[in-house]
């Protein structure tokens, strides 16, 4: 006769970005409870929209952000989605807080000459809302979205998302690329560089 383990085996095979205690407090279930429930309901045979709908039926008071979060964690756990994978390809994000006013940070992106000081790649701004956001084309695809946020009078944050990447390898490469470029941006805006 087999002894039951004193510890319940984990059914989630990846570590979600949000801790188990937080997800249980916000959704009423732990990650393992969600995975078990979705497995039993046939979640592994559904597409993304189908899993979101299933989560919504199981927790109708759950807001859209949490429905998406539970769905993505489930998909990753079951090998239905890789890290950084979205429905339209892979997407990465990066952000940096820099000691300059938000208008100056925005200009460093929106102005071609200023941008060429820290980004020597082909990026074409096709929509800009100063000093809040811009959207850009990268290698012919409209896939870069950038937002700017003041963190006081002389400090601001830039946050970007680069989507439509073909695979996990390209996503990892672009994650490193944007990390390095945001550091170069900060250096280009430093008072020592004379901007």
The chain-wide mean pLDDT, for the chain, equals 86
> Which residue(s) pair with 136 in the sheet?
125, 144
Domain ranges in the chain are 20-77, 85-193
What is residue 122's predicted lDDT score, i.e. its pLDDT?
Answer: 81
For the cut 80, the answer to whether the pLDDT of residue 188 exceeds it is: yes
d(CA 108, CA 113): 8
- Taking only the tens place, the pLDDT of each residue in 26-74 is 999 999 999 999 999 999 999 889 999 999 999 999 998 899 889 888 8
Residue 108 host element (H or E): helix 102-110
In 3-state terms the chain splits into helix, strand, coil percentages (rounded to 5) of 45, 25, 35
* Fold entry, domain 85-193: Alpha-D-Glucose-1,6-Bisphosphate; Chain A, domain 4 (3.30.530)
- Taking only the tens place, the pLDDT of each residue in 85-101 is 666 678 888 999 999 99
Q: Which of 183, 17, 189 is nearest to 94 (CA)?
A: 183
């Amino acid at each position: 006769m087999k002894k039951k383990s004193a510890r319940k085996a984990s059914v989630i095979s990846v570590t979600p970005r949000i801790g188990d205690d937080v997800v249980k407090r916000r959704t009423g279930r732990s990650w393992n409870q969600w995975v078990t429930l979705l497995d039993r309901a046939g979640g592994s045979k559904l597409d993304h929209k189908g899993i979101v709908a299933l989560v919504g039926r199981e927790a109708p008071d759950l807001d859209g952000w949490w429905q998406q979060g539970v769905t993505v964690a489930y998909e990753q756990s079951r090998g239905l989605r890789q890290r950084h994978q979205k429905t339209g390809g892979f997407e990465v994000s990066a952000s940096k807080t820099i000691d300059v006013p938000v208008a100056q940070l925005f200009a460093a992106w929106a102005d071609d000459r200023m941008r060429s000081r820290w980004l020597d790649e082909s990026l074409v701004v096709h929509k800009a809302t100063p000093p809040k956001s811009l959207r850009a084309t990268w290698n012919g695809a409209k896939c870069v979205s950038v937002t700017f946020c003041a963190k006081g009078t002389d400090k601001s944050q830039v946050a970007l998302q680069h989507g439509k990447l073909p695979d996990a390898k390209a996503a990892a490469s672009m994650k490193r690329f944007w990390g390095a470029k945001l550091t170069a941006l900060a250096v280009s805006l430093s008072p020592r560089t004379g901007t």
